[in-house]
Amino acid sequence: MNDIQIGFPTESDWPWIIERHAETAWASLIPELQAAVSIQMVRDSLVEQTAKFRADHGATNQVFVARSVDGKEVGYVWVGQARSAFTGAMQAHILNIYVADEFRGQGIGAKLMAKAEDWACQQKLERIGLSVAAHNKPAAALYENLSYKIETLRMFKNLDQSSS
């Protein structure tokens, strides 16, 4: 889709970005977790986290917004710097990516990822990583098509607190 422009967010984009972030975070939760928390709890947490992250990390992270020719937001990618827990080296990390349903499958996600990778290269970072929900097969397929490889698999178990 050639008529999509990718640029920096405006201050008025942030409520839209946070709402889309809440939607993607909620969708990434397994049903068991969705039953335990509300989407409003996720949204409230993300509002707080986003404000803190933007204040504390400034130039070490960047959001790029994809817009249609009429200026409508159709997607975004949020990329930042993080220290590898394994090597200690600084690397880029995709904090969140979103493409509106009606624009999926048109190459916008790939364009946003390329923009994030370009940013990481400009920051002299040699690696970029991300996390994807295990059940989000379309996103995982996109990342694999872009040559991302599985490095770790995060797992969890709920502990029965009543027997303690």
d(CA 36, CA 81): 31
Q: In what order do the strands lie in the sheet with 73-83?
A: 5-7, 61-67, 73-83, 90-99, 128-130
Over residues 36-55, the mean pLDDT reads 88
d(CA 102, CA 13): 19
The CATH number of whichever domain residue 28 belongs to comes to: 3.40.630.30
Question: Residue type at 115?
Answer: K
Coil/strand/helix, residue 71: coil
Render pLDDT for 17-29 as a digit per residue (tens, 0 to 9): 999 999 999 998 9
Flag whether pLDDT at 56 surpasses 80. Answer: no
Total domain count, the chain:
1
Residue 158 counted as domain residue: no
For residue 17, give its domain range: 5-146
Give me 6's structure tokens: 């990718």
- Find all residues with CB under 8 Å of 14, minimum gap 6, and list them: 50
Residue 152 counted as domain residue: no
Q: Quick check: 69 and 44 in contact, CB under 8 A?
A: no
Residue 160 counted as domain residue: no
Residue 156 counted as domain residue: no
Residue 50 counted as domain residue: yes
Residue 162 counted as domain residue: no
Residue 61 counted as domain residue: yes
Residue 157 counted as domain residue: no
Render pLDDT for 145-164 as a digit per residue (tens, 0 to 9): 999 999 888 888 878 777 65
